[in-house]
């Protein structure tokens, strides 16, 4: 595999604070190429020989806005077995329901745009359902849970100009921890 030439914006870049725009279909060749590049990049970032060779930080999700493109598209690449992945290409997502139960990632959330350790918990819904369009513009619905639910919410926040660090209470980073379940 060859590492795609993509540049991920750093948290200091104001572009990350833009609200992404609705995507129209059909997708351009360029958008399809970016989707393929993101999938390849995320896979490589999760495979040891590649993340060591290219000095990559492992990541499972990336929104177009993180590349400076304000379009409502994000990709999640979930490793389901060693070097076997499930790809989610999510376009124009809308949350339609979510659980009452809140969860948080025990070791903390990370982000390919935030190049530092961040202490604190980010409250997320344990389960949620969204509608979205696939790469061909077809309407889809998906229900996600646990770590994939967290990843979807993290990327949907990006589409609205929100970073996970915004959701951590500055004065009390572990606020209400006892009201949530750690995953």
Q: Are 157 and 95 contacting, i.e. CB atoms less than 8 angstroms apart?
A: no
**Residue 2 is among the residues annotated as catalytic for this protein:** no
- The stretches of the chain forming alpha helices (DSSP H) are 29-46, 48-53, 146-159
CA-based end-to-end distance of the chain: 32
> Of all helices (H) and strands (E), which one includes residue 99?
none
Which residue out of 107, 141, 155, 178 is catalytically annotated?
Answer: 155
DSSP assignment of 124-146 equals EESEEEEEEE-TTS-EEEEEEEH
User: Residue 128's closest CA among 156, 94, 103, 99?
Assistant: 99
Question: Catalytic residue numbers?
Answer: 155
């Amino acid at each position: 595999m060859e590492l795609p030439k993509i540049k991920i914006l750093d948290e200091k870049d104001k572009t990350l604070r833009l609200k992404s725009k609705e995507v129209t279909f059909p997708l351009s060749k360029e958008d399809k190429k970016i989707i393929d590049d993101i999938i390849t990049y995320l896979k490589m970032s999760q495979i040891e020989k590649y993340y060591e060779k290219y000095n990559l930080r492992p990541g499972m999700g990336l929104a177009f806005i993180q590349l400076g493109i304000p379009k409502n598209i994000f990709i999640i690449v979930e490793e389901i077995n060693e070097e076997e992945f499930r790809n989610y290409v999510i376009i124009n997502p809308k949350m339609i329901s979510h659980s009452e139960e809140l969860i948080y990632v025990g070791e903390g959330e990370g982000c390919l745009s935030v190049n530092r350790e961040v202490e604190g918990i980010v409250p997320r819904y344990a389960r949620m359902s969204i509608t979205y369009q696939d790469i061909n513009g077809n309407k889809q619905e998906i229900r996600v849970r646990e770590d994939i639910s967290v990843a979807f919410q993290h990327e949907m926040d990006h589409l609205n100009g929100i970073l996970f660090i915004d959701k951590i209470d500055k004065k009390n980073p572990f606020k209400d921890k006892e009201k949530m379940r750690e995953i």
